[in-house]
A and B are shown apart, each in its own frame.
Chain A
Amino acid sequence: MANLEDRQDARSARNGWLLSTPALVLLALAAVGPLFIMLVYSFLVPGKYGNVEWGFSTDGWTGILFSRDIFDDTVKLADAHLTIFWRSIKLSLLTTIFTFAVGFPTAWFIATRPPRARPFWLFLITIPFWTNLLIRTYAINEVIRIEGLMNTILLKLGLITEPLRIIYTDFAVFIGMTYVYLPLMVLPMFAAIDRFDMRLLEAGYDLYATRWQILRRIILPVVKPGIIAGSILVFVPSLGAYVTPRVLGGGKQMMISNFIELQFGQGRNWPLGAALSMLLLVVVTIALLIYVRYANRETSHG
């Protein structure tokens, strides 16, 4: 009897693998395959007109941090690269913090509306998703550029005498990313606050907590999973943002993705581009692993 069951288990396990074959093949081809190609390319030699030439080299990886002087062949730290990395991390962190600062009150507001009104507010939050990212980013460009909507109005009102120079700065990129990623912060926090038992507020208030203490000691710890989920959903794509820094940062205020694109285009240094891509992947994976470990620890406490 047990034997029969074992055999049935084995067969159903085999059938399970068989049934998932299409998905596994797709994953191998579409996800693992390209990554593997990138990993191989990062250890090759750049071709003269782009592409790669066969031959092992670690220059792609060392090129991330160091550059070789073309005249005397000395190796030194690549300041320009570090500036780009620092800008990427700084803008991503700022975007995450600011979307949280704006998103938390927004999510709280929506979660405390009467149940019938909530879909309407959530609908407003998701409306931007209906339009292509590129078009939305150009719309922001139109608002903040030198002869744009904002400057025209402020000048007409006499509030400023010279147009504000926001476009093509880090600040412009920050504005654009905050706008684009805000919904990704609001939605998971809404889900967490929606589950929050509002009676805990009365309990805290009854036990001598001030409003600030209720926020810090009760609300934030209880909805923390939503905050972390939202932060990851904002931080990860911010770090890899391409369109926003391209359109609002001009050619100069590059972030990692623009820098990677440069290596595959004008830079003609595919191994460096491939190594940078792998590095970005590793950083994002580490961030996600920290989150997963944290989330598991929370649930195991029950």
Chain B
Amino acid sequence: MPNDAIEARNISKIFGQGEAAVRALDNVSVSISQGEFFTLLGPSGCGKTTLLRMIAGFESPTSGQILLDGADVTELPPNKRPVNTVFQSYALFPHLTVAQNVAFGLQMLGKPRAEVAETTDRMLALVKLDQMAGRKTSQLSGGQQQRVALARALAPAPRVLLLDEPLSALDLKLRKEMQIELKRLQHETGITFIFVTHDQEEALTMSDRIAVMSAGKIQQIGAPRDIYTRPVNRFVAGFIGETNFLAAEAANGRVTLKGGGPTDATVESGRSGAVTVAIRPEQVRIGAPGEGSLPATLRDLVYFGTDTHCYLTLADGSEVVVRLQSPASGDVGLEPGAEVGLSFAPGAAQVLGD
């Protein structure tokens, strides 16, 4: 496929030997298209950073291949790969000015002086740091250092830009700004971005596609909407947003909750027996007793401002969280102890794989 900027084929990575060996990546395959904003999302230790460092060339896989524009780059050192990294710690050169930092990669590539100066100016303008060109990096704020790191990595016009949790050191407000900034930069430069984060909200808002990773494996790859609405397993459903997991019984392609009542969730006709149904808290409706398919008892209410969270208990003792949009009065009109009936929004209930 010529459209793939980066392809990882059957990558495994084992750190250490014998008893102490750790399998950081377990037969991971992924292909990332040209111009895509692709996110590797997972908890710490899931292997996402190892995969990123492998694409950069800092780690070599125990087995498998890395392809860049269809060519095998598995054995190429980092300084021979047209791939640049924005490091988590920024790793700016402390002895150089902002402009010298940005120019570094171009100089190492042996570009003519005029081109280096021109590209550096353009990059500094792109990240809105043209006023800071002559400063030392230690005189900049965290957000400005972040921009220098971005400009430095973008200046040599890499085929792929790797971002290793670049926003984790910033405070919340700055992080939101930089999220928008990153999307803008990606749009303007057209460069393929591979973004590593453990922040699911960051992943959902910024990415074209997300790969959710856990324990060295890719659990699911898809657009943010697909990942959120149709998680394939319990890990993905639990890691991305909040989810109610309900025990259910599958038979003849139909799924019935243990807590009572059928659902419109479907299951492959061959599958039967105990399954888990996932339903997002905002997809559950609360009605009068007897209304809907699922009788429940309201145990507690927590007011969150825009939302009110209702904690309910089903007949079989399992718990369900329901998120209601708070009405203008702020009072949802329910009291703890109330008997209610629950129903699910059509198509919202998902049967999970194992």
Q: Interface residues, chain A, CB within 8 Å of chain B?
A: 197, 199-200, 202-210, 213, 217-218, 221-222, 224, 301-302
Contact = CB atoms under 8 A, between A and B. Distances in A.
A205 B139 contact: no
B104 A207 contact: yes
A217 B107 CA distance: 11
B338 interface: no
A301 B109 CA distance: 28
Nearest to B94: A222
B15 to A, nearest CB: 17
Give chain B's interface secondary structure class: mixed
Contact of A197 (B83, B91, B136): B91
A218 B95 CA distance: 8
Nearest to B138: A302
A202 B92 CA distance: 11
Given A202-B58, A213-B108, A301-B136, A207 B89 contact: no
B230 interface: no
A267 B77 CA distance: 66
Contact of A207 (B57, B77, B84, B138): B84
DSSP majority for the A interface?
A: helix
Contact of A199 (B89, B136, B139): B89
Interface in B69-88: 77-80, 83-85, 87
Contact of A202 (B83, B87, B93): B87
B56 A206 contact: yes
B79 A205 contact: yes
Contacts of A222: 93-95
A203 B101 CA distance: 11
B138 A209 contact: no
Task: Report which residue of B92, B104, B136, B153 has the largest number of chain A beta carbons within 10 angstroms of its beta carbon.
Answer: B104
A302 B91 contact: no
Contacts, number: 67
Interface of B: 56-58, 77-80, 83-85, 87, 89, 91-95, 104-105, 108-109, 136, 138-139, 152-153, 156
- What are the 6 tightest A-B residue pairs by CB atom distance, in nearest-first order? A207-B105, A203-B91, A208-B108, A199-B91, A221-B95, A209-B108
A220 to B, nearest CB: 10
A222 B80 CA distance: 24
Contacts of B91: 197, 199-200, 202-203
26 contacts: A199-B91, A202-B78, A203-B87, A203-B91, A204-B108, A205-B77, A206-B56, A206-B57, A206-B58, A206-B83, A206-B85, A206-B153, A207-B104, A207-B105, A207-B108, A208-B79, A208-B80, A208-B156, A209-B79, A209-B108, A218-B93, A221-B95, A222-B95, A224-B95, A301-B136, A302-B138
Given A208-B79, A301-B136, A203 B93 contact: yes
Contacts of B104: 204, 207, 209, 217
A85 to B, nearest CB: 36
Contacts of B85: 202-203, 206
A223 to B, nearest CB: 10
A206 B139 contact: no
A302 B135 CA distance: 10
A218 B139 CA distance: 19
